[in-house]
Structure 1
Amino acid sequence: MKNLILNLKSIIINEFGISEPISNSDSLDNMGLDSIALIEYQYEISKKLNIEESEIKINKNESLTDLTTRLNLIIEEK
């Protein structure tokens, strides 16, 4: 789980220019990701983790911890 959350943070920092520190409990909305950025983030996650975008379904109110937990479940099912 720790590596996954670091990967998710890395995407946010590198793709969207959000500076550290990023709290695991912050919502994606609070990090400044608008609806277009959330779509791009979903795309980047799908590429990096080899998961279909339709499986990810990012919610702007979701925290990184919640997203990581959900993505781990998706990965485990594969």
Structure 2
Amino acid sequence: MTGELDPDVTGIYEDAGEFFGKRSYELTGNGWFIWWDPLGADWYISAIRGNKDPPVWLKPMPITGNYFPTPPANGVATVTEI
């Protein structure tokens, strides 16, 4: 994960197991997650897996690419590989 982000969620994400039928990932040492929401059909980056309350970033499929913030989150988060 890269970008000029606030809060800072950049770094390496590791496999955190299946969540809603897809793999989820956790930021090493920070506790942020990348996870799939089947209801909204979006990928999320959030402090609590399964919680869509801001600050969060989100995007539709695929998991890689640019995630856009929901205030008070700020900056575009880029996932380049899983």
Do these two structures clear the TM 0.5 threshold for a shared fold by scoring above it?
no
Name which structure has the greater RCO, CA cutoff 8 Å, separation 6+.
1
Higher helix fraction: Structure 1 or Structure 2?
A: 1
Give the TM-score taking structure 1 as reference length: 0.32
Higher strand share: 2
